[in-house]
Structure 1
Amino acid sequence: MDSRNQAPQKSSSFSSATTNKASREVDRNLSLGALRHGDHDRRSGAGATWEQIKEEGEEEEEDGSGDPGVSALSGEIDAFIHHGGVSIPETTLVKFADAVELQIAQSEKARDKWAADGNGELLLAAIARVAALAKNPEASTKYTSGARRVTTVMHHAMAFLENEFHGLLEPKAKDTCKLARRPPSFEQGGHEADRCVLQAPDTGVANTTAETTPPYPPETVDRLRSIADAMVGAGYVTECTQMFLVARRSAFEMSLLGLGYEKASIDDVVRMTWEALETEMATWIKAFRHSINVGFSTEHDLCSRVFAGRHASVGRAVFADLARCVMVNMLNFTEAVAMTKRSAEKLFKVLDMYEAIRDASPVIDAFLSASAEDEPAADSHRNALTDLKAEIAAAHSRIGESAASIFCELESSIRADAGRQPVPGGAVHPLTRYVMNYLKYTCEFNSTLEQVFRQHRRRDDDGGNPFAAQLTDVMELLNTNLEGKSRLYKDPALSNIFLMNNGRYMLQKIRGSPETNAMLGETWARKQSTNLRQYHKNYQRETWNRVLTLLRDDGVLTVKGHVQKPLVKERFKQFNSAMDDIHKTQGAWVVSDEQLQSELRVSIAAVVVPAYRSFLGRFAQSFSAGRQSEKYVKLSGEDLEGIIDDLFDGNPSSMSRRR
């Protein structure tokens, strides 16, 4: 059956669904590749004659492949374009232009434009010939009327290709990612829109574990490549690349919107509450990492596929422009964050941003390296990527400076905390809890903060870790602050309990965090333990030395073997009063650390109880049994142990109530 009588079928990659030997031969002769200098010679043989070339065109017409007018004239047109000195009638130019325009008109009316004649590649080949004629100086000088007609058809053809290129780039309704309606950028609450992501093919440039889908099916990419090849070859590189750039930038922004990210102005960011800003920062980090690790790889691959072969440099330039456009908008957010009021709670999200930006630089370096290998000569797209790398480095520096300043604000906060009200019971001060918990989480970023302080807070640290040195400064400052607060207590014993509580809390927090412990080191821990032992000794001296003095026979209670009963009575009265006072006051004091509480009670009992039992054994028989004994000897050894066990649990009591 004659192929011209068959109904056109849908094609993919501009190829007919059914082809025969004749159509394949036409496709080889009329493909865009035939317009490259020297290609025609290789197929027709060196020194091909005009008659041979013309016979090829006539054979194609007899085969019935494609439009007969275009096919019959293509051989003459190719000879004119590629063989200097070959002349053709001006009417041939006009007829060829008319035939191509008719072919375009038929394609414009068809549902599947690229299957109108059974083979879209034939139409592109014809359009490429028109473009070559329009640029041919001999045609423009020898055939004025024909050249004008060719130029008119070329403009029509380029408009047609622009429409087709744009239509292929725009997502179809069924393929459009249906994004969940996102609340305004600054609203709170968890929300996760359906993700519309870009593919991250294995380009060797960036690795990602994200599940992605291709932005276009393979047949669409093939069509885009063919149209781009025709448009760029015709000199319409600006129109082609701008359409591609606008479409892909829009698609990129839609994918980020699917991740919940929306652009916000610097003024909006600066005015945000911390709760709103924290949400925006988390969303930005997710979107930024997606862009670097997924989006860029996808777009790089797509650009290299659409602008392939001799137009590869165009694709690299498009990718570089796209990457820079996307990143400039995203990096504006980092500048806005750096301008917000610095406060301690922002540190961790700022460090997350710092790490995300830091990790982006090697990815851009990889694209730059790949570009240098493909095309060593410097060009505009490499300059764009170099500019982008510089902008990322600047954003990294701004965020790093902000992180360093935020951490240093902690020192200012400690210095400014000069409260005049002591914590009841000598308990752990809220400042101590806040600082130590803050440092615990801060030290989880220890390697990052080391980078930050090495870059932004240079100090004479003998080549050591500048963040560790900064951390030591904070601990010394906190200790100094707490020593000042301890003087708010009128009772020196309670001052030492306060210092013990806070010092023990600090030590436990440090030892409970491997990162913090590694940063401060054993030297600091040993110094802190020494301080704690000193506070303990000071407390015992202030409270119990006076009690032990009452239980000591210093040569006054017995004279020449005789007990001085009035003095013994007074000693018992003083001891009972002292223990009642200690029980009542120190029972209200707080030692929340169970181990420290136990250590204090055991150390007190180990000294006081044996001394009291000895005193009781020597002088209790001085009193007659009955009321006199009960009046002065109010505590047994077991009672004294019970009083000591009641200390430091925050429950004030008196000896009489206990009994």
Structure 2
Amino acid sequence: MPYKGMRSLFFPPKASSSSISNFPWPSRTGLQNPNSTPRRLFSDAFMDRTLEIADSIIMKWNPDTSTFAKVTSLFYENRREAKEFIKSVNDLQKAMHFSASENSNSDKLGRAQNLMQIAMKRLQKEFYQILSINRAHLDPESVSARSSLASTRTSTSDYEDDDGPEDEIRTAGDSISEVEDVSDVAMGDLRTIAECMISSGYGKECVKIYKVIRKSIVDEGIYKLGVEKLSSAHVHKMDWEVLDLRIKNWLNAVRIAVKTLFNGERILCDHVFAASESIRESVYAEITKEGASILFGFPENVTRNSKKSPEKIFRTLDMYTAIADRWPEIENIFSLESTSNIRSQALTSLIKLRESVQTELSDFESAVQKDSSKSLAAGAGIHVLTIDVMNYLSLLADYSNILPDILADSPPPAKSSLPESYFDTSDSEDFPSPAISLRFAWLILVLLCKLDGKAKHYKDVSLSYLFLANNLNYVVAKVRTSNMKYLLGDDWVNKHETKVRQFALSYERLAWSQVIDSIPEDPTAVTTPEEVKDCFKRFNSLFEQAYKKQSMCIVLDSKLRDDIKVSIARKLVGVYRQFYIVHRATVARERNLEPVVRFAPEDLGNYLSDLFFGTVGSGSSLSSSASSQLRHR
């Protein structure tokens, strides 16, 4: 028996109305003989005195014999008497053990046992009332806000210290709010009652009350967070929009449940049942197992039974992140052997989510490779496949911190499958994960290969190159403005920007070279009037044809659009201006000038500025407009 217990047994506190210090203490020899008369006398006298004190306070609060005791709470009505009540029960228990070992008067033991049963009934009532009345003050959020149980200083010792003022329940500082103070008092009272009942052999009754009330709080908390137990069939029948909403609710729920609900319940349970590790374990497991199983089982249910959807991988990654980020907390909160099944369920969901991401990513790559659509982008613009794939990859890159874990055992494509000029698989620190960088590079390469195939469906080769320039430029822009930039690096971006310019130059050469070449290499060279007229006519015809065809083209990116137009103008307008200035006078004597010279140099710039917006031009309007402008020069 601990030293403190021995002191309580042989030296009752000053608070007692009388003392047993004048009892006939047995001699040292008498104490060594369990059958000695002095020891028996002491045992009987000690039991009599303990029964007298216990009977006085226990019967006062017997709800079966007192209307006052039936409708009043001992711990709220008189905290001083609550301390005395607990102390008398503890003393009574000690006296019963001592007397039983001495084979003392069985009548006295029977009376003591009767008082003990009445006291336990009272404490059961108090325990239930404190739990029920203080639901708001004992909510998991309030309890979990404490950094540790050290901040909750009310304990059994508070009720054994009679030196302080009546309302001094703890040594909390002035900074503790009123709500926290009430919560601390309630937690201290619950712990004191639980320890008293457990030590008296009535722990089962105390635990039953606690389980019923606190389990209902956990289950209600899970329900209020929007998480319900769903059957596999129910999940499978759900439309994606409905399931997506459920997943969003779950993501919010798991954050609150781990940080607040389960953590708060663990702190409260550990505090109330601090006297017994086995009781703590069994009680916490019982009140949380159903709610935790529903919460942590939801992701597994989704991965196994939900319908396929392009957005599913991102929700799967969100759920994986939600559990993975909180795994240390989950392991800590459910560290008990009795809660190992909860840890196992959370880990199973994590594994299933991981496998689901791997499968969905593989399915995505396969879908891109198998794309057989022959539809062409209007005006050689950006293909819908390019938009879908790059949007997908830019979102996927947001999860680059967890993808290495998920794809750790999923081998990346071999380096030999990537052209060396396409992607440098260096081990630079700029790449957080070379394997993931390679995976993104490979997926983009798969897309670009499909785009190369689609470009061949354009009958005009120049449009094929414009299509490639448009789409590769879109790819580069998406990489540059997303986390893919950090995965692929600046070298990748620079190399592919160069390829965009090369595609654009190839388009210019094929689409406009005939127009440019229609002007003599030396525009100032002396030539005959007929040759000048033929040159103007040939230029007019070729320019009109090129303009009508290229006016249908689209370049959505403003910088790329301006770069192409400036490049064309630089090669075309300058040489045409020289030819125009030198040779216009040669044909000026012609009565019908308009069919010969249709465009002034300034006109070319104006027409070129209208290109690549997808507006179809008409030859007649272009010619008449140019002729009208020439009349006023």
After TM superposition, the score normalised by the length of structure 1 is 0.72
1:112 to 57, 65, 72: 72
Q: What letter is aligned with 1:490?
A: K
Q: CA deviation at 1:130?
A: 5.8
Answer yes or no: is 1:607 the counterpart of 2:575: no
CA distance in 2: counterparts of 1:456 and 1:161, whole angstroms = 60
Q: Which structure 2 residues correspond to residues 139-538 of structure 1 after superposition, within 5 A? A: 154-155=116-117, 157-171=119-133, 175=136, 197-204=141-148, 217-308=183-274, 310-311=275-276, 314-315=279-280, 318-319=283-284, 322-339=287-304, 340-366=306-332, 382-454=336-408, 464-513=433-482, 515-538=483-506
Q: Deviations over 1:381-434 (max 9, x none)?
A: 732355544443332222233234334443234234432221211121222223
In structure 1, distance between residues paired with 2:94 and 2:385: 79
For the residue of structure 2 that corresponds to 1:474, the secondary structure is: helix
Distance 1:539 1:562, change over 3 A: closer
Q: Distance in 2 between matches of 1:212 and 1:134?
A: 41
Measure how far apart 1:247 and its partner are. Answer: 1.8
Alignment coverage as a number of residue pairs: 560
CA distance in 2, matches of 1:459, 1:314: 54
SS in 2 for 1:447: coil
Q: Is the 8 A contact 1:427 1:502 kept in 2?
A: yes
Q: Distance in 2 between matches of 1:206 and 1:483?
A: 67
Check the 8 A contact 1:35/1:128 in 2, yes or no.
Answer: no
**Do the aligned residues in 2 keep the contact of 1:199 with 1:212 (CA within 8 Å)?**
no
Structure 2: how far apart are the matches of 1:492 and 1:163? 90
Counting only pairs closer than 5 Å after superposition, residues 588-603 of structure 1 correspond to structure 2 as 588-603=552-567
Give, in angstroms, the shift of residue 486 of structure 1: 1.6
Retained in 2: the 8 A contact 1:605–1:644?
Answer: yes
Counterpart code for 2:484: T
Letter in 1 for 2:610: D
CA contact (8 A) 1:199 1:213 kept: no
Give 1:166 shift. 2.4
Are the counterparts in 2 of residues 100 and 127 from structure 1 also a CA contact under 8 Å? Answer: no
Q: Which residue of 1 aligns with 2:174?
A: none
Q: 1:254 and 1:455, CA in 2 relative to 1: closer, same or farther beyond 3 A?
A: farther
Counterpart contact for 1:200–1:212, Cα < 8 Å: no
Q: AA paired with 1:164? A: E
Query: In the alignment, what sits opposite 1:544?
Result: 512
Shift in Å, 1:600: 0.9
**C-alpha separation between the residues in 2 aligned to 1:228 and 1:273?**
49
Query: For the Cα contact (< 8 Å) 1:133–1:139, is it kept in 2?
Result: no
Q: Cα gap change, 1:55/1:123 in structure 2, threshold over 3 Å: closer, same or farther?
A: farther
- Alignment deviations for residues 487-527 of structure 1 (CA, whole Å, 9 cap, x no partner): 222111111111111111221222223x2211111232133
CA distance in 1, matches of 2:370, 2:2: 76
Secondary structure in 1 matching 2:402: helix
**Are the counterparts in 2 of residues 249 and 322 from structure 1 also a CA contact under 8 Å?**
yes
For 1:169, give the aligned amino acid: L
Asked if structure 1 preserves the Cα contact closer than 8 Å seen for 2:43 and 2:99, the reply is no
SS in 2 for 1:454: coil
Aligned-residue offset at 1:538? 1.7
Return the alpha-carbon distance in structure 1 between the equivalents of residues 510 and 300 of structure 2.
57
CA offsets 1:77-99 (integer angstroms, 9 cap, x no match): xxx9xx7896649x979987987
- Tell me if the contact between 2:473 and 2:500 (Cα under 8 Å) persists in the aligned partners: yes
Aligned equivalent of 1:640, options 563, 583, 604: 604
Q: In the alignment, residue 517 of structure 1 is paired with which amino acid?
A: K
The answer to whether the Cα contact below 8 Å between 1:443 and 1:516 also exists between their aligned partners in 2 is yes
- Which of these residues, 529, 545, 563, is aligned with residue 581 of structure 1? 545
Question: Cα RMSD between the aligned structures?
Answer: 4.4
Residues 368, 446 of structure 2: 8 Å contact kept: yes
Please tell me whether residue 41 in structure 1 is matched to residue 41 in structure 2.
no
What SS does the aligned partner of 1:634 have? coil
Give the Cα separation in 2 of the matches to 1:283 and 1:298. 21
State the shift of 1:197 in Å: 4.1
Equivalent AA in structure 1 for residue 213 of structure 2 = A
AA matched with 1:162: Q
CA distance in 2, matches of 1:124, 1:112: 17
In 2 relative to 1, CA 35–262 (structure 1 residues): closer, same or farther, beyond 3 Å? farther
1:86 and 1:267, CA in 2 relative to 1: closer, same or farther beyond 3 A?
farther
Question: Where does residue 154 of structure 2 map in the other structure?
Answer: none
Aligned to 2:145, the other structure's residue is in SS state: coil
| Structure 2 CA distance for aligned equivalents of residues 469 and 394 of structure 1 | 29
Question: Counterparts of 2:221 and 2:264 in 1: how far apart (Å)?
Answer: 12
- Which shows bigger deviation, 102-111 or 323-332? 102-111
Structure 2, unmatched stretches of 5+, are 26-35, 152-176, 416-424, 428-432, 626-633
Checking the alignment, whether the CA contact within 8 Å between 1:588 and 1:651 is kept in structure 2 is yes
